[in-house]
Amino acid sequence: MPTRLARPTATRVPKDVIDAWRTVPSAVAADKLGGRCHADARIRPIRPFAPGATLVGSAVTAWCEPADYGPVHHAIAVGQPGDVIVVAADGRPDAAMIGELLSGAARRKGIAGVLVDGAVRDVNTLAQWTDFPVFTRWITPRGPSSMERGSVNDTIIFGGITVSPYDIVIGDDDGLVIVPQAMSEETLKLCLAHVAAEKAWEAALNAGATTIETFNVPHAVA
């Protein structure tokens, strides 16, 4: 059965909203979403981010059956500059879903990065690309063996959470958060307010305030 290309009913979040999310760390987003939208912490970036850098973009989803990477090809084909390819491979370590060649094609197209709940390879090369973050659960030299199944732009389960096409991906050294598209603008306001509050808390602590004073911690009882 050939790879199925779904036609999302949603549209991408406006670029100005995506850009505003770039100022929000994954930790703030995770907290404001009530701890419901962060992916399994074992899915990690293959190289540390530069200070202050994040991965932010609209999700293009690829659901891959065992050892089949056809959906990754098609996700790259339909992806647009700034999108993030999100590959659900059931957390399997047995075959890499992407490596240098496919990642290079995505990078040249302007795709912002790739997330794999499964395995990748060619990490020596991928880790040198500071403009193309790659997150993965596993690294293996073994490649896939078919390219004719799975689906693109369906709602998937990635790292234990639901991801739909054009949800917002936020990734940094702390991990991955997926912001449901329908909640993106409302949650952004909460996150920006929290980022501003953190700056005020930092200023207070630098001025000598205690954490108990700064965060209004209830008094301990002797």
CATH number of the structural domain spanning residue 99: 3.50.30.40
Q: How many domains does the chain have?
A: 1
Percent of the chain with pLDDT over 90: 97
What is the pTM (predicted TM-score) of this model? 0.96
Is-contact 109 82, C-beta < 8 A?
no
**Within a domain: residue 205?**
no
pLDDT higher than 90, residue 16 = yes
| pLDDT level of residue 35 (50, 70, 90 thresholds) | very high
Per-residue burial over 146-180, b if 16 or more Cβ lie within 10 Å, else e, is ebebbbbbbebebbebebbbbbbbbbbbbbbbbbb
Which tokens hold the place of 210? 């205690």
Full domain range(s) for residue 72: 4-181
Percent of the chain with pLDDT over 70: 100
**Which pLDDT does position 48 carry in this prediction?**
97
**Within a domain: residue 220?**
no
**Which pLDDT does position 173 carry in this prediction?**
98
Average pLDDT over residues 23-44: 97
Average pLDDT over residues 3-10: 92
**Within a domain: residue 16?**
yes
Which tokens hold the place of 36? 């419901």
**Within a domain: residue 21?**
yes
**Within a domain: residue 55?**
yes
**Which pLDDT does position 53 carry in this prediction?**
94
pLDDT higher than 90, residue 222 = no
- Kindly report the average pLDDT of the chain as a whole number: 97
Q: Which residue has the tokens 């199925």?
A: 4
CA–CA dist 126, 107 (Å, integer): 10
**Within a domain: residue 197?**
no
Q: Tell me, what DSSP letter sits at residue 220? A: P
pLDDT higher than 90, residue 59 = yes
Average pLDDT over residues 141-156: 97
pLDDT higher than 80, residue 1 = no
Handedness of CA 198, 131, 184, 17 (dihedral sign): positive
Q: Which residue has the tokens 């990748």?
A: 120
CA–CA dist 6, 18 (Å, integer): 23
**Within a domain: residue 93?**
yes
Over residues 124-133, the pLDDT tens digits come to: 999 999 999 9
Average pLDDT over residues 194-220: 96
